[in-house]
């Protein structure tokens, strides 16, 4: 009988320990888990001609907490008070397509310049040849998998390219 009491005592201690651990683990004072760190990827741009080996800027894709993304161009080389043309086009710069993601003006300041290409987007309207448009998903994984390139021209009528580089899958 003494052995039975000793065995029952050990079983009770084990059960109390298990219940204590279970209640501690279920504590509802813990807040929600921290959101994952935002993902970010950068693609380099380089110059042309004598600047071909020099990095002149970069494109950054940043994922927001709501799964939308921001795509920004950071340009080191630009001419003050000149309206530069920024073209974000499908395909690599050696084999471009006629798909255009973005075409915009960026006024040079002579110093580091940041241009917002897309802000808080989950999909974009892709402009195609002949004026047609096609809406495509453009969340982080879509953007990184897209094969494109970015070209910054000196001005609207200039053939001078001051920065060029592949984006996404083309890189």
Share above pLDDT 90 across residues of the chain, in percent, rounded to a whole number: 57
State whether residue 103 is helix, strand or coil: strand
d(CA 63, CA 37): 9
Q: Structure pTM?
A: 0.76
Give pLDDT, residue 89. Answer: 94
How confident is residue 24, by pLDDT bands cut at 50, 70 and 90? low
How confident is residue 149, by pLDDT bands cut at 50, 70 and 90? very high
Residues 29-86 have pLDDT tens digits of 567 777 777 899 999 999 988 888 999 999 999 999 999 999 999 998 788 889 999 9
- Sorted by where each starts, the structural domains of the chain and their CATH numbers stand as 40-168 (2.60.40)
Give pLDDT, residue 70. Answer: 97
Burial class (CB within 10 angstroms; exposed 0-12, middle 13-18, buried 19+) of 90: buried
């Amino acid at each position: 009988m003494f052995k039975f009491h000793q065995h029952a005592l050990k079983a009770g201690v084990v059960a109390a320990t298990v219940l204590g651990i279970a209640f501690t683990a279920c504590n509802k004072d813990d807040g929600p888990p921290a959101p994952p760190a935002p993902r970010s990827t950068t693609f380099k741009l380089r110059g042309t001609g004598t600047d071909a080996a020099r990095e002149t800027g970069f494109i950054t894709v940043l994922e927001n907490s709501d799964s939308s993304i921001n795509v920004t161009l950071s340009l080191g080389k630009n001419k003050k008070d000149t309206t530069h043309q920024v073209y974000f086009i499908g395909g690599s710069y050696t084999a471009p397509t006629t798909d255009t993601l973005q075409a915009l003006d960026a006024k040079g300041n002579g110093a580091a310049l940041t241009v917002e290409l897309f802000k808080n987007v989950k999909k974009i309207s892709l402009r195609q040849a002949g004026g047609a448009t096609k809406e495509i998903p453009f969340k982080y994984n879509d953007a990184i998998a897209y094969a494109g390139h970015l070209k910054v021209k000196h001005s609207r009528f200039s053939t001078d390219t001051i920065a060029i580089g592949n984006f996404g899958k083309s890189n």
